[in-house]
Amino acid sequence: MKLLFLACLSPKTGNYTTAERIRSHIESAGHTCELRDAADFQSPADVANLISQNPPFEGALAIHLFRAGRLLLDIHVPFGVIFGGTDINEDVKVEQKRLVMEQVLLKARFAVAFTDKLKEEAELFLLSQSSKIYVQPQGIQTDVSEKFCWTEFLRSSGVSREHVDELHVFLLVCGLRRVKDPLYLVEVFSEWHCENPLNVLVIIGPKIDPVFTVEVEAVVKRTAGVFLAQERSQQELHAAMKRCFSVVNSSVSEGMSAAILEAMDLGVPVLARDIPGNAALVQHEFTGLLYSSPQEFVHQSQRLLSDQELRERVVRNGKLYVEEHHGLKQEREIYQQLVDTLL
């Protein structure tokens, strides 16, 4: 079967990694799956023209009901969709987008939500299509670069301390766009850094929103204790995560944060903003720590620094959680079964 797979493919983002992983699952079952960036198409007509080329595509798949799913509305082959997170958490609040997403869900042969919460939200805000919505958590596989140099990474980010192993590096992994809210913790963290210079915050991720990136760069440049790292390959990013004190999430909205799951798999404690997408993964004081304000972030960080038993517990339970609920084998089997329904 020849499939077209549409997703938002900004390099080195969670969306890109997820799409590549699902594509490999589909191709391992013997199908041909062509992954294309939704941003390359102006309208559903463009995709309809591509679908009908010779040899024609026999089915389609899309991640994100609005950004990619809307482009499938004019095609005459069966398709499935995967909720991206921001579509259900944010885009449904805009009536015009919500109506489009309802059309997409009605036409789709199946839909996949990463969490029960996302499925519930979809059923609440969109025309109920409960029978076609499947819950399948993301599968996680981490790969650490053996050539990675922690000292070089920190120095290239602007951290000039001579003995970098003394530092407590909090690594905020996110693409630079407003929904990830990378500036949420900056002011309070800087105050904490001034009290204890060993605590530093490094923000790392691709520059997705150019205008917002300029704003982030300007704020970081004038803020003590906060640094901005250049995006790295996934292997290098995983190596940096493994060396840091804690991986941080400060998003306003999440579908399912791959960075949180990767940190758990790597044995690194997670400090995540208390939003539904994160709370679906992080059980407070068991698989990680949740916070609902910058001040509470500092409080939870201090606990993580002073309580070794707490740190060991969340690391141990986080790794077990990923092994039990986010395995690649089950994810691969589910997507292969769902694609078979498009035949």
Per residue in 185-242, pLDDT (tens digit) is: 999 999 999 999 999 999 999 999 999 999 999 999 999 999 999 999 999 999 999 9
Residues 193 and 63 both lie in one domain: no
Residues 83-119: tens digit of each pLDDT = 988 888 889 899 999 999 999 999 999 999 998 888 9
Which pLDDT does position 312 carry in this prediction?
Answer: 98
Q: Is residue 200 within 8 Å of 227, Cβ to Cβ?
A: yes
Q: What is the pLDDT along the chain (343 residues), one digit of tens a residue?
A: 999 999 998 776 778 889 999 999 999 999 999 999 999 999 999 999 999 988 899 999 999 999 999 999 999 999 999 998 888 888 989 999 999 999 999 999 999 999 888 898 888 888 766 789 999 999 998 999 999 999 999 999 999 888 888 999 999 999 999 999 999 999 999 999 999 999 999 999 999 999 999 999 999 999 999 999 999 999 999 999 999 999 999 999 888 899 999 999 999 999 999 998 899 899 999 999 999 999 999 999 999 999 999 999 999 999 999 999 999 999 999 999 999 999 8
Residues 212 and 128 both lie in one domain: no
Which pLDDT does position 128 carry in this prediction?
Answer: 67
Residues 174 and 132 both lie in one domain: no
Residues 29 and 67 both lie in one domain: yes
Which strands form 289-291's sheet, in the order they lie side by side? 226-229, 199-204, 168-173, 246-249, 270-273, 289-291
What's 127's domain CATH number?
Answer: 3.40.50.2000
11 vs 17: CA distance, rounded Å: 9
Residues 308 and 336 both lie in one domain: no
pTM of this prediction?
Answer: 0.86
Residue (of 17, 81, 82, 5) closest to 47 by Cα position: 5
H or E segment and range at residue 277: helix 276-279
| Cα dihedral 303, 307, 313, 314 in deg (nearest 10) | 20
Which pLDDT does position 85 carry in this prediction?
Answer: 83
Residues 209 and 162 both lie in one domain: yes
Which pLDDT does position 121 carry in this prediction?
Answer: 87
319 vs 261: CA distance, rounded Å: 9
Residues 333 and 311 both lie in one domain: no
Residues 305 and 252 both lie in one domain: yes
Domains contained in the chain, number: 2
305 vs 193: CA distance, rounded Å: 14
Task: Answer yes or no: is 144 within a domain.
Answer: no
Residue (of 98, 17, 101, 90) closest to 277 by Cα position: 90
Radius of gyration from C-alpha coordinates of the chain:
21
Which pLDDT does position 332 carry in this prediction?
Answer: 95
Which residues are registered as beta bridge partners of 291?
Answer: 273
Range of the domain at 202: 150-325
Which pLDDT does position 266 carry in this prediction?
Answer: 97
The number of beta carbons lying within 10 Å of the beta carbon of residue 296 is 16
C-alpha torsion sign, points 85, 88, 94, 97? positive
266 vs 239: CA distance, rounded Å: 9
Task: Answer yes or no: is 145 within a domain.
Answer: no
Q: Is residue 275 within 8 Å of 254, Cβ to Cβ?
A: yes
How many degrees, rounded to 5, is the angle at CA 241 between CA 279 and CA 175? Answer: 65
